[in-house]
Structure 1
Amino acid sequence: MNNLNPEIVEFLHKNNKKMIIEKASNKELELLKDANFKQNIRASLDHDAIAHILKRHGVNSVNVKNGEIPVTNEDIANYRYIINNADAIIRTLDKYDKEAITAFKQINGYAVVVEQAINKKNELALKTMYKNNGSYKNNEVYKAFSSTSLDADAKVRHRLSSYSGAEKNNT
């Protein structure tokens, strides 16, 4: 059981700190079984992830103004609970083609999505977290994955649905 709470999340955010939360779960280890990690894989949280989540998905974010449910420090403090009790957890490639694990949890009519990046320090670092109305089964990443074989080696390239379909315009 981790000792993360909203006050610690706020401390990490304001003081540019990082924290190792706990060892990766058995499901996460299963998804990463062919990755070449030299030692125990641990879950970590740092100020960059907290800042990103609050800026993109927090109370005053553009995404929330466009209808997304806000993510709070309390939600971030509970991110390992979401992962450890996920309705679905999949291995993916993020928009930068880096390995990631994305977890989906249905709570009170909305979907919580948590993405962790796999870094070179044997860590699953929290990358982003957001909430959408409706079922997690309607999430772009989940739909793309569920149309492939559901095994630990399946990888899906994705752009997070929290980007609201915005594409870079090079003209």
Structure 2
Amino acid sequence: FWAIAHLHVKNVPHGSSRIFLREITPVCRPYKILSRGINVGQVEIEATYWLTRHELSINIIKISHSQAERFLRAPETYVEIVFQGPFDIFDIQRTKVAERSLNPIFNEEFLFQIPEKTAVSDVTVDLIFVEKSNLYHNPAILGVLTLSKHTDWFPVRKFWADVEENPNVKLKDSFLFEGNVDE
């Protein structure tokens, strides 16, 4: 199951309160994605909330300290960006493939239109780091980073709150991402 799906996290209102529960739903893929669960790296991103256009800009700058360095191989890496609201996936985009680099530089900006009546704080952006390798037939997930106010990781939660509170200002930061240890 885990090899053919990634998880879509949905914020579900809990009763009449403003508390949201996290509901995890698998999103099937037409091909199998392997997750080795040992990769850890760091991603540098830049995010901007454009208030007048009601858009969110995510710029994937680079990935560094990838675990591929441990294995002395330079994989083809790309990042899949899943833009979702409280109840739906709005858009899925991906970067170009960074060929054969231990520390790939992307410098790609993605614009996402935020639906009306949806606040930035209700939006979740999942960055899924994927590696294409000649050792494996199918892509392998290096790790996932979730940008949301609902994450339990304070630096990401603070960054996301800063993006919402400072519209039209480009905010840049680096975050660690980890793979799942299930194999």
Higher RCO, 1 or 2 (CA under 8 Å, sep at least 6)? Answer: 2
TM-score by length of 1: 0.29
- Write 1 or 2 for the structure with the bigger share of helix: 1
Larger Rg: 2
Which structure's residues are more often strand, by fraction? Answer: 2
Q: Normalising by the residue count of structure 2, what TM-score does the alignment of the two structures yield? A: 0.28
